[in-house]
Amino acid sequence: MAKSSSKPAESRAQSTLEVRVDEFVAQQKNNTYNYKQVAHAIGAKTATQQRNIALMLVEKAFNGEIIEVSPGKYKSPQRGNEAVGVFVRRSNGKNSVVTESDGETIFVAERKSMHALNGDIVRVNIAAHRRGAETEAEVIEIIEKKEQTFIGTLKVDRHFGYLLTDSKFLATDIFIPKSKLKGGQTGDKAVVRITEWKDDMKNPSGEVVDILGKAGENTAEIHAILAEFGLPYTYPQAVENAANKIDAGITDEVVSQRIDMRDVLTFTIDPHDAKDFDDALSFKALPNGRYEIGVHIADVTHYVRPDSVIDKEAQKRATSVYLVDRVVPMLPEHLCNGICSLRPDEDKLAFSVIFEMDNEARVHDAKIARTVIRSNRRFSYEEAQSVIETGMGDCVEAILKLDSLAKELRRCRYEEGSVDFDRAEVKFDITPDGTPTGVYFKVSKDANKLIEEFMLLANRTVATYIGKPRDRKKPKAFVYRVHDVPDPQRLADLAAIARAFGYKVKASGTPREINRSINKMLAEVKGKGEENYLATLAIRSMAKAIYSTDNVGHYGLGFEYYTHFTSPIRRYPDMMVHRLLERYLAGGRSVNLQKLENQCKHSSEMEQLAANAERSSIKYKQVEYMQSHLGESFSGIISGVTEWGLYVELNDNLCEGLVPMRDLADDFYDFDEKNHCLIGRRHNHRYRLGDNVDIKVARADLEKKQLDFVLLDDKGNALRGEDYMGKKGSPKAVLSQQHHGKKKRRRK
């Protein structure tokens, strides 16, 4: 009796649970949620209830009642039959539109795309949802075309030419009439603009915008990388001419309006090959036993006036771009490497934050002011490190004390919740013609960290001064460097995976508690097999830092107020901060918030493009370097797991390549996104993010910037698809049988 009566009770409980889930979903409007958030909201605490909620959400998404915006995360559809969004074109034909209303990604077949290009703003008609089928849309209007060009290699025939594109956003070549080739020849690397793409044309027509040089030549390929991301690779002559007319102009009148610190010991510490010196430190022991530490920043905005041709170009670029073999500067060379650069034995204008500190690195007073300085010595990081390690050399007392204070600042920062992410950077030894001959790692040492800590302190002090006024008045509009809280689901996944290895990471609590637990885990995992896996997951759980007028704090640093003030030669937001400081220190009114936010957004976008270009240039040099190592074996770690294969980063040189899924031929592998692994269906073998593997270099494709690896077994033999073909029961044999079986069924 008990057993039979329990079924109606279970059914009622399940029905009640469904009602509560439906009520929760109905209230969410445009919010996203996962099963854990639903369970918490409705008070479902048991594992069975939570599992049932997860299944309910999956079924609702399958039925089209809600949308799965990312794995395990859902939201209610906020759309009618039509929507406006950004078109996303892919060379594999998987085009889509991301709707403005709710960020939903909807598939668009090529025949229904109106040949919209990547980034175009389009209006789409959304087809009625069919149970179990992917939602589809059709472009019915291209509202706004995005200005864009395509990079590739020209092939010129007798009567016409065409561009073989490198783009992942375009599957077709671009037809170019001979009159539009701009002198381009077969084998030239070129920038091309699409001029026409009729509905009945398979290929678009275009015109050459610029010839970059011969494909394969270093400068042509580097310029192609910049052009690919819409970044400038030349500097306008008019802007250079305007800059060349500027004089340093350090007159007695200018000096009289500033704090004169030319008699205080001052020096710079920078990379050995640096030419633009943004920042300098000054040091003076005070009679009260404390120290006056000055952080002096190049006063760029004294020379670059708002809305001048130089300023407009700098604002458009927003950042200098640091590629493998060159720097593409934000400012003309006469300014960034000359007048503004804090070179030794030259009077320079600076914007400074001057601290009074004690031996415990406590700040007793801080003053923000414009100054005149004169650097006594230019140190490379290596030279300053030698002073720290040996206690011998120039400015030894100052450097040793600054190092001691920096270490205390860093200790306190970590104690307060900064996350300790410190990974080596890959650098190349490069010949004058751009050929990479060796790889080395740039490791941050005490001299680097000394500069880092005082720059962080200056940035934090400036942001706090504006963001937290002493008179309790409303803060004025300002540029903050913000870093939002991690995605809760990613943080929960990190905590669960770390727990499986025996480490504890807090998935909830204050930012300080969470970050201290991550730091503890990162310290405990050092030198262990799972170090790369967990460190990579920790980094990926974090949000991206951006510029914004809305101060949400800097989660990664654990700072309530933070900005970028210390690099105006290479970052436009720092110039914005300098101008705002000048205005507010003089008692000026708050600036227009929306205009400032638009500038912040543009700077964030350009920063991301510059980072992408830098990574692309590194990838290009990695592939070029590995061309001379084809067929050689290396050890590495799995740095990425995707549905198309495994990415492996080599231990010796940090070069990264792909092991294609097709070459994992010993089994059928399924992609487990949540646990970052591939799982074999028959043998349950797992390839997981962070695993150590041995590989052989199979292919180095410079045009695609792609390295292909094959895995090696314990005996050093390659595990390739061709080594496993034709055998009875092999994946290929099984697929072949299935394919023939389908053909037979179709014939019936």
Token pair for 615:
């990574």
Cα distance between residue 279 and residue 577, in whole Å: 15
Token pair for 239:
């802007």
Is the pLDDT reported for residue 194 higher than 80?
A: yes
Largest CA distance in the chain: 102
Per DSSP, 245 falls in state T
Token pair for 522:
């990162």
Token pair for 367:
């003053």
- Among 172, 101, 167, 112, smallest CA distance to 136 is for 112
Cα distance between residue 260 and residue 253, in whole Å: 12
Q: Which of 53-67, 325-339, 646-660, 691-705 has the lowest mean pLDDT?
A: 53-67
- The answer to whether 30 touches 102, Cβ cutoff 8 Å, is yes
- The answer to whether 427 touches 381, Cβ cutoff 8 Å, is no
Q: Which of 352-361, 552-561, 573-582 has the lowest mean pLDDT?
A: 552-561
- Among 170, 172, 197, 193, smallest CA distance to 115 is for 197
Per DSSP, 662 falls in state G
Query: What is residue 459's three-state secondary structure?
Result: helix
Angle at 398 between CA 394 and CA 401, to 5 degrees: 135
**pLDDT tens-digit map of 55-106:** 888 888 777 678 777 777 887 765 557 889 999 988 777 889 988 876 778 8
Q: Which range in 502-516, 536-550, 556-570, 672-686 is most confidently predicted, on average pLDDT?
A: 556-570
The structure tokens 């997951």 sit at: 537
From the number of C-beta atoms within 10 Å of its C-beta (0-12, 13-18, 19+), residue 249 rates as: exposed
Per DSSP, 724 falls in state G
Per DSSP, 119 falls in state T
What's residue 726's pLDDT? 36
From the number of C-beta atoms within 10 Å of its C-beta (0-12, 13-18, 19+), residue 11 rates as: exposed
- Among 139, 109, 135, 110, smallest CA distance to 122 is for 139
Q: Which of 379-393, 518-532, 656-670 has the lowest mean pLDDT?
A: 518-532
**pLDDT tens-digit map of 145-191:** 888 889 999 999 988 899 998 777 888 899 999 999 999 999 999 99
What's residue 10's pLDDT? 61
The residue that leads in pLDDT, 132 or 38, is 38
pLDDT category at 722 given cuts 50, 70, 90 is: very low
Give the whole-number percent of the chain exceeding pLDDT 90.
50
Q: Which amino acid is at 69?
A: V
Whats the size of the chain, residue-wise?
A: 748
- The answer to whether 156 touches 164, Cβ cutoff 8 Å, is no
- The answer to whether 553 touches 468, Cβ cutoff 8 Å, is no
What's residue 734's pLDDT? 37
Is the pLDDT reported for residue 517 higher than 80?
A: yes
The residue that leads in pLDDT, 134 or 375, is 375
CA 693 to chain centre: 26
- The answer to whether 480 touches 563, Cβ cutoff 8 Å, is yes
* Region 598-610 average pLDDT: 96
- Among 321, 270, 266, smallest CA distance to 295 is for 266
The residue that leads in pLDDT, 672 or 247, is 247
Angle at 674 between CA 422 and CA 678, to 5 degrees: 95
- CB-based burial, 711-743: b 16+ in 10 Å, e otherwise: bbeeeeebbbbeebeeeeebbeeeeeeeeeeee
**pLDDT tens-digit map of 447-474:** 999 999 999 999 999 999 999 998 778 9
Token pair for 55:
């299944």
The structure tokens 């009074």 sit at: 356
- The answer to whether 651 touches 694, Cβ cutoff 8 Å, is no
What's residue 738's pLDDT? 39
Cα distance between residue 350 and residue 261, in whole Å: 10
Query: What is residue 362's three-state secondary structure?
Result: coil
- CB-based burial, 42-65: b 16+ in 10 Å, e otherwise: bebeeeebbebbbebbeebeeeeb
- CB-based burial, 260-283: b 16+ in 10 Å, e otherwise: ebeebbbbbbbeeebebbbbbbbb
Is the pLDDT reported for residue 1 higher than 50?
A: no
pLDDT category at 219 given cuts 50, 70, 90 is: very high
* Region 1-5 average pLDDT: 45
Cα distance between residue 682 and residue 669, in whole Å: 9
Q: Which range in 13-22, 214-223, 723-732 is most confidently predicted, on average pLDDT?
A: 214-223
- The answer to whether 139 touches 150, Cβ cutoff 8 Å, is no
Residue 62's contacts (CB-CB under 8 Å, 6 or more residues apart) are 131, 132
For residue 85, what are the β-bridge partners?
99, 122
The residue that leads in pLDDT, 499 or 265, is 265
For residue 688, what are the β-bridge partners?
677
Cα distance between residue 553 and residue 510, in whole Å: 13
Q: Which of 99-113, 375-389, 587-601, 687-701 has the lowest mean pLDDT?
A: 99-113
What's residue 575's pLDDT? 98
User: What is 9-40 written as a DSSP string?
Assistant: HHHHHHHHHHHHHHHHHHH-TT--B-HHHHHH
In this structure, how many other beta carbons lie within 10 angstroms of the beta carbon of residue 102? 18
Cα distance between residue 598 and residue 254, in whole Å: 33
What's residue 565's pLDDT? 98
- The answer to whether 281 touches 261, Cβ cutoff 8 Å, is no
- Among 613, 644, 624, smallest CA distance to 697 is for 624
The residue that leads in pLDDT, 496 or 287, is 287
Cα distance between residue 549 and residue 598, in whole Å: 9
Give the whole-number percent of the chain exceeding pLDDT 70.
92
- The answer to whether 191 touches 161, Cβ cutoff 8 Å, is no
| Residues 676, 677, 681, 685, CA torsion sign | negative
What's residue 720's pLDDT? 58
Q: Which range in 325-329, 469-473, 532-536, 576-580 is most confidently predicted, on average pLDDT?
A: 576-580
Q: Which range in 24-28, 103-107, 237-241, 443-447 is most confidently predicted, on average pLDDT?
A: 237-241
What's residue 490's pLDDT? 82
For residue 677, what are the β-bridge partners?
672, 688
Dihedral of the alpha carbons of 714, 716, 720, 726, in degrees to the nearest 10: -80
Rounded to the nearest integer, the mean pLDDT of the chain is 87
Cα distance between residue 381 and residue 390, in whole Å: 14
- The answer to whether 131 touches 62, Cβ cutoff 8 Å, is yes
- The answer to whether 683 touches 669, Cβ cutoff 8 Å, is no
**pLDDT tens-digit map of 396-440:** 999 999 999 999 999 999 988 888 877 667 888 899 888 999 888
Is the pLDDT reported for residue 737 higher than 70?
A: no
Per DSSP, 222 falls in state H
For residue 355, what are the β-bridge partners?
293, 366
Token pair for 486:
């991690």
| 29 to 74, 146, 314: CA distances (angstroms) | 11, 31, 41
Question: What pTM value is reported for the model?
Answer: 0.81
Is the pLDDT reported for residue 477 higher than 70?
A: yes
Phi, psi of 659 (to 5 degrees): -100, 105
